[in-house]
Structure 1
Amino acid sequence: MVNRVYVIGVGMTKFEKPGRREDWDYPDMAREAGTNALADAGVSYEAVRQAYVGYVYGESTSGQRAVYELGMTGIPVVNVNNNCSTGSTALFLAAQAVRSGTVDCALALGFEKMQPGSLGATYEDREQPMMRHIQALAEISEVGMPPAPWMFGAAGREHMAKHGSTPEHFARIGEKNHRHSQNNPYAQFQDVYSLEEILDAPMIYDPLTKLQCSPTSDGSGAAVLAGEDFVAANGLAEQAVEITGQAMTTDFESTFDGSAKNIIGHDMNVQAARQVYEQSGLGPRDFRVIELHDCFSANELLLYEALGLCAEGESPRLVEEGATTYGGTWVVNPSGGLISKGHPLGATGLAQCAELTWQLRGRAGARQADGVDAALQHNIGLGGAAVVTAYQRANRGG
């Protein structure tokens, strides 16, 4: 039996600069986000039959320690680590458990307590999982540091050389996402910057300035998922949001075909999106709101093409036309995205889920887009995994 899967409750913490909230440890974050999600769902933790808990930096069984803040009911708790796509991977696994009929209610929770500054390796005595990607990029691009902005910046440079995009196109994406976040009380940054300020910010890796790069962050997000019988039995149809398509892909052989965009996941993104469009029966223009993985502005621009919002090479036109902000065809990253909302790795995918759930319910406050009947989520982790999810209101048919 294949069950329909619904998001019935979401919650998150405000994303913060690492260490900004004194004595705020990951169990505190998980308790806050998880309690908010359960309250939003209107169910107790005792209703949850499995929990999938994501984090990148932490000791083994930190997932158990985190959800013990919500209750100790003996249920299976699965620890999840999939780089920057960890939160959406937890969501994928929880949805899979519900869809298969294994459980009728599951929790996906993610958190991160990060160190300030650029991401670094935890273990130096073994092969780094990204080494093959880094070596492949080094063969076609001058090596830069830190690694993450170099990798995405190199893909941006490749797009500039092939398709004529300019530093201003990338900067305008940064400007848009900072502008969107001014209305998000959960965002790490709520400051608005002019295009000139974005361009004049310190250069991290040309063409990416500091205000086009996601920061390290502390925070947590959570989602409660349930099957259709659980939704009906508990009278949750009015608030439920259906996951109508979901796919996860990992690297293909084409990742190492000599192009920077594939090294940062282009084909993973394309294939995951295609699967979701087929599952949901929806196409790119059916989604009014999109939360996508703008770890760097260059990645957002490349994702316009990978997700099918436009043909290859046409993403600069979308930027110029304002097609991805309020008044355009889509509202992309109304939350402020990773660039401005923040990027606590394990929580990012679940914060995206929360934002889209609020948008579909019409409860996103000053961020609310008009006419949201369907929403699309994209989250990626290099090394690698891409997760794409389509959502629709459960009661859309009346």
Structure 2
Amino acid sequence: MSDKVVVAGVGMIPFTKPGKSENYDVMGAEATRRALADAGIGYDAVQQAYVGYVFGDSTSGQKALYHVGQTGIPIVNVNNNCSTGSSALYMARQAVESGAVDVALALGFEQMTPGAITASFTDRPGALEAFETVRDRVRGIPDDAVPNAATFFGAAGQQYVEDHGMDPAVFAHITVKSRKHAAANPYSVFRAPLSLEEVLGSPHIYGPLTRFQCCPPTCGAAAAVVMSQEYAAKHGIRADVVIAGQAMATDFNSTFEGDMLRLIGYDMAADASRQVYEQSGIGPEDVRVVELHDCFTTNELLTYEAIGLTPAGTAEKFILEGDNTYGGRVVTNPSGGLISKGHPLGATGLAQCAELVWQLRGQAEDRQVEGRLDAALQHNLGLGGACVVTMYQKVSA
């Protein structure tokens, strides 16, 4: 990546509980307007758009963007489960980096309903069928009342507990940290603090997971404008945050061999992050702020090790010594993450992008990580599966 792609503008709207938001098209249009304003350009400068959402009819992307403009540009609708937003960003970045366009837009939104996610189509094979087969063989068939996603991530957390002799209460510390961070984020759904006792005392879900250790269904939207360095320079556009490395990985044969950590994306995260470190020349030891996919507390802990923030088997020490928060080695999810900020599936990856761009610019207000920030790392995961890892870098404008 010699000619790095600039993240020229980001925008998002406050996330809300289902039933409290505008419709998806209104949310998506507003996030787009905010990103365009941040970049200082009009919609007529955008040459391609990639729009991510999971729950919606085909061409919902057009429905949202037509509120902003109808310029005839290609609009590609993207669905990659929980990594949808970062998948849209991945495609927009590729379009610019390849030279196909100078300016591209990545937009993500989701209008969710209350309660756990369920299958939309029951008259055909499910996309997670192979994953469920492995889970059922290794851990037994779960109660139908348990949310499907929680059984995967809860079982992975339980395996980690068994493998390392860790107290499962350690996972709950992540929610306590998440709520502290979210308290300073006006975009977050849950900003009230929680004690460790409150997290552990919330209803049990599966394995080591309690309710407050699971991300909530959420509505919201976020967007990013990416462009070439040449275009930014020619038009006097701020260009101090670039994508220094980005990779998407999908599942390997190892995913289905019976290890629950691998089943929920450990190897994808490890591979994608390895590629990004090689591309950017920036290692995990050089990163002081990370937005990662904490759909469940168990996944946050596992991701620490998968992407190299701490060596395998040391996540307990990493958490209990406060190395995952302000004052520690690396601030993880300063936004509050999926658990507290919320998880509108199509918007999540672009909300992570927005937070990290703000951090690198020094615009994160009360969430700002102190000291010099040269790089920021993003990890966004979807079962089924896809994992996108992105390294953002602060450069001289």
Partner of 2:360: 360
Partner of 1:4: 4
Q: TM-score, normalised by structure 1?
A: 0.97
Does residue 197 in structure 1 map to residue 195 in structure 2? no
Amino acid at match of 1:117: G
SS of residue paired to 1:187: coil
SS of residue paired to 1:346: helix
* CA deviation map 1:173-228 (0-9, x unaligned): 11100111000000011111111111111111131111110000000000000001
Distance 2:8 2:211 in 1: 37
Q: Measure how far apart 1:8 and its partner are.
A: 0.4
Structure 1 residues 69, 2: closer, same or farther in 2, change over 3 A?
farther
What are structure 2's unaligned runs of at least 5 residues? none
Partner of 2:383: 382
RMSD of equivalent CA atoms: 1.1
SS of residue paired to 1:167: coil
| Aligned sequence identity (%) | 56
Alignment of 1:19-30 (within 5 A): 19-21=19-21, 24-30=22-28
Distance 2:13 2:388 in 1: 22
Alignment of 1:160-179 (within 5 A): 160-179=161-180
Distance 2:259 2:284 in 1: 25
Distance 2:167 2:237 in 1: 47
Partner of 2:224: 223
* CA deviation map 1:348-377 (0-9, x unaligned): 000000000000000000000012211000
Partner of 1:315: 315
Q: TM-score, normalised by structure 2?
A: 0.97
SS of residue paired to 1:139: helix
Q: Measure how far apart 1:159 and its partner are.
A: 0.2
Amino acid at match of 1:70: V
Distance 2:376 2:4 in 1: 17
136-145 vs 182-191, greater mean Cα deviation: 136-145
Does residue 147 in structure 1 map to residue 135 in structure 2? no
Q: Could you tell me whether the CA contact under 8 Å between 1:231 and 1:240 is conserved in 2?
A: no
Distance 1:66 1:3 in 2: 31
Amino acid at match of 1:147: N
Distance 1:249 1:51 in 2: 22
Alignment of 1:119-134 (within 5 A): 119-134=117-132
What are structure 1's unaligned runs of at least 5 residues? none
Partner of 1:33: 31
Q: Could you tell me whether the CA contact under 8 Å between 1:113 and 1:218 is conserved in 2?
A: yes
Partner of 2:295: 295
Q: Could you tell me whether the CA contact under 8 Å between 1:268 and 1:385 is conserved in 2?
A: yes
Distance 1:12 1:233 in 2: 27
Partner of 2:211: 210
Alignment partner of 1:64 out of 62, 65, 68: 62
Alignment of 1:280-291 (within 5 A): 280-291=280-291
Q: Could you tell me whether the CA contact under 8 Å between 2:157 and 2:207 is conserved in 1?
A: no
Amino acid at match of 2:102: D
Q: Measure how far apart 1:165 and its partner are.
A: 2.1
Amino acid at match of 1:387: V
Distance 2:2 2:99 in 1: 7
Q: Could you tell me whether the CA contact under 8 Å between 2:377 and 2:389 is conserved in 1?
A: yes
Does residue 107 in structure 1 map to residue 105 in structure 2? yes
SS of residue paired to 2:101: coil
